[in-house]
Structure 1
């Protein structure tokens, strides 16, 4: 994994993950076993990188096809990528379109990093996948290369798009000839990088789909989304992980033990002291974040009215329902029962 990719920061757009599921038929039962029920996936904007990895590996176990990553990428139109796709399609040149995809694809998933370099008379697109997992690298690289190949074909036409040479750093797979036939261009393995090369003159090819107004509008939207993504604070990241913990417990996917500071620090690949210092610099503390998120879930579970007080207490990590009731009363000056069933209503 490159230095630009930290496991604790990795995530994937929920919409992007659902494309993989719809294209390959992963059942809700399998999702449940991964700790990611379908209803949670549909509600979330992003899922963690570790869940993206788990989904891909689970799919690879049930899809008997070493080319399924490429076939999944083939099912994605540029419009399926939202503002990123709209900006790329309306870009003035092929080079501008590719630069959009490289700069903003992290809005879809940041489980890989990529770049476009000019090397003599060629441009080289190369990518590094976050996890040192051969299955994940194969699937994601096949998919991304197919997505970009379709974009190139859309802009320069089928004949000129055949000037690509696709490369994989991995060893040759059994169906290498079939993969080359699928892409319609040569594929080489043990190539030293994963990506593709193309003649340099293609970079400046004017796009017949260019729309300056739409390009600028979508580019501005992508820039705004990227700024918001990069501005995620340590407090927000801890809150998100705590939210995920209680959702998982409520769905029977985790034990109801509260995550202590040391466990949270380990998840973010830092010492408890460092995590504490980072939170304090933002004016927050782990214990107060834990209690805030804990009671947010208490409110939600009480409002649903499908679980009794004892079950809710257990989900929230209380040994006894009476302990939950006392803590709830201290915070809200009312019992959980009365909060759920206000007198006079």
Structure 2
């Protein structure tokens, strides 16, 4: 469900560069990503003995690229920089370390607006709404479950081999931000990650003051609902209103720079089982379906093709990174009949979803044994 006021939350995305089934050469050109934290990553790389200039050159970027004001990166560049940095110093836990280096000031207007909020609840509402201005690859949602709050971190599109890095960075900096905003008073009860437990899992205790669980259904922070009322030491309503308005302007500017196809991909990523008709999508962009078709045609794609590509991306993602039953995956992708999902997947990949999952699991086992 998308409201006119909530449309901004849909207007950013990126495609996955999954080598097993996805051609990222066309998908990656449809959005641009802000380079905010890439600058911090390169500084961290340098401090650990890596060579940032070498990384930038290999990624096809000029030495001063990410340092330019309002610099943006393509998905391919962003992916390459992260992958090269991790390889440069051979540090699988680099995401954890980067997250710990990101202070409240590095989050720009959003960070300042959060600490100016009246209480933690208001700060979280801002963070959930404007996460897109800082980290377009992820979205954050909040819901209360009995006496606890669950902050769910969702990947807007599969992140391929940089998934763990991106999620770890976001999780560590989110905890640090909430801790700072509440004057170190909020109590994080548990952190859950959807990926498998890494070999350096003991290191997580240096970043999170609570149990950390892996191989969970989703990435999630859990804390007491009473913490939402914790007042922020730096609360200032007037300042917060001004900064929130600037966050909205920043989001709108970024939205306007994106392609229609890229924005639609994100909307599809949030449907979770019900793929909207093109008329519904068009109404969210305040245009007719005919105009939307023309816009997509000018971007050399169609709504049908976007749905097909998105389903292929997400099917691969769910099969490789979750233990969800194939039938449930089919429902999440908008197939009323699981058999239709199986036929569509076989048509694209030459094997059934079950065979694809088994083949990839076998391949991973063989690779680990080598």
Q: CA deviation at 1:75?
A: 1.0
SS in 2 for 1:164: strand
1:235-250 paired onto structure 2 within 5 Å: none
Residue 149 of structure 2 is matched in structure 1 by 123
Q: Distance in 1 between matches of 2:166 and 2:33?
A: 12
C-alpha spacing 1:32/1:277, structure 2 compared with 1 (3 Å): closer
C-alpha spacing 1:116/1:11, structure 2 compared with 1 (3 Å): farther
Q: CA deviation at 1:132?
A: 3.0
Residue 46 of structure 1 is matched in structure 2 by 72
Q: Give the count of matched residue pairs.
A: 243
1:74 aligns with 2:95: no
Residue 20 of structure 1 is matched in structure 2 by 41
Deviations 1:193-227 (A, max 9, x none): 11311111112222122111111110011111112
1:34 aligns with 2:59: yes
Q: Distance in 2 between matches of 1:111 and 1:28?
A: 25
1:220 aligns with 2:245: yes
1:256-335 paired onto structure 2 within 5 Å: 274-275=297-298
Residue 5 of structure 1 is matched in structure 2 by 13
SS in 1 for 2:229: coil
Residue 116 of structure 2 is matched in structure 1 by 90
Q: Distance in 1 between matches of 2:160 and 2:213?
A: 17
Deviations 1:236-295 (A, max 9, x none): x9xxxxxxxxxxxxxxxxxxxxxxxxxxxxxxxx999812689xxxxxxxxxxxxxxxxx
SS in 1 for 2:144: strand
Q: CA deviation at 1:134?
A: 5.2
Q: Distance in 2 between matches of 1:272 and 1:83?
A: 32
Q: Distance in 2 between matches of 1:79 and 1:225?
A: 16
TM-score, length of structure 1 as denominator length: 0.63
Larger CA Rg, structure 1 vs 2: 1
1:198 aligns with 2:198: no
Q: Distance in 2 between matches of 1:18 and 1:85?
A: 17
Q: Distance in 1 between matches of 2:256 and 2:116?
A: 27
SS in 1 for 2:217: coil
Gaps of 5+ in 2: 1-9, 16-28, 263-292, 302-370
C-alpha spacing 1:10/1:146, structure 2 compared with 1 (3 Å): farther
Q: Distance in 2 between matches of 1:133 and 1:109?
A: 13
C-alpha spacing 1:24/1:99, structure 2 compared with 1 (3 Å): farther
Q: CA deviation at 1:163?
A: 3.1
- Note if contact 1:94-1:152 (Cα within 8 Å) is conserved in structure 2: yes
RMSD: 2.9
C-alpha spacing 1:161/1:10, structure 2 compared with 1 (3 Å): farther
Q: Distance in 1 between matches of 2:58 and 2:143?
A: 41
TM-score, length of structure 2 as denominator length: 0.59
Q: Distance in 2 between matches of 1:83 and 1:272?
A: 32
Q: Distance in 2 between matches of 1:213 and 1:273?
A: 42
Gaps of 5+ in 1: 238-269, 279-345
Pick 1 or 2: higher relative contact order, CA cutoff 8 A, min separation 6. 2
Residue 254 of structure 1 is matched in structure 2 by none
SS in 2 for 1:88: helix
- Note if contact 1:166-1:186 (Cα within 8 Å) is conserved in structure 2: yes
Q: CA deviation at 1:133?
A: 4.0
The match for 1:176 among 198, 201, 219 is 201
1:104-115 paired onto structure 2 within 5 Å: 104-115=130-141
Q: CA deviation at 1:15?
A: 3.0
Q: Distance in 2 between matches of 1:162 and 1:190?
A: 23
Q: Distance in 2 between matches of 1:219 and 1:273?
A: 32
Q: Distance in 2 between matches of 1:29 and 1:273?
A: 38
Q: CA deviation at 1:93?
A: 0.9
